[in-house]
Structure 1
Amino acid sequence: MSFEDLEPRPRRGEAIAALGREDLDLYAVDELQERIAALEAEIARARAAIQGKSSQRSAADALFNFR
């Protein structure tokens, strides 16, 4: 067992909350553009997860619809 196993796991949403508190004045324009690109990639990933979950739910609803 390592010391990492003993550390508490980060709470869900904690990382995004930390991003919202970060001081953007410290970043240069090109760094802010990189940050935006990374956030847009994360948004696309979240949208893909939503789409996948919606598809799975639709399939399950169709399977268990007894009408």
Structure 2
Amino acid sequence: MFEEEPRIKPPRALEDMSLEELASQIETLKEEIARCEAEIIKKKSVKNAADAIFGQ
């Protein structure tokens, strides 16, 4: 099964955002970074387990 390439959204114009919108955007991005980091940890764990069983 092939994974679809993620759709890249064009960046928002930061100049048009209020202080509250900017702060909210930062929080959203921090949450997304945390999700990505958690997925990396999970994938590394699976890879390490497979390497331990099958060797490199």
TM-score of the superposed pair, with normalisation by structure 1: 0.69
2:44 matches 1:54 = yes
Q: TM-score, normalised by structure 2?
A: 0.81
3-state DSSP of counterpart to 2:48: helix
Q: Does 1:36 align with 2:26?
A: yes
Whose relative contact order is higher, 1 or 2, with alpha carbons under 8 Å and at least 6 apart?
A: 2
Query: Which amino acid is 1:43 matched to?
Result: I
- CA offsets per residue over residues 22-62 of structure 1, 9 Å max, x none? 21111101110000000000000000010000000000000
Which whole-Å CA distance do the structure 1 matches of 2:12 and 2:20 have between them?
A: 17
- Between the two proteins, what is the percent identity of the paired residues? 35
Task: Note the residue ranges of structure 2 that are not aligned, 5 or more in a row.
Answer: none
2:6 is the counterpart of 1:26: no
Higher helix share: 1
Unaligned runs of 5+ in 1: 1-10
**Root-mean-square deviation over aligned CA pairs:** 1.4
* Deviation >2 Å, runs of 4+: 11-15
Number of matched residues? Answer: 52
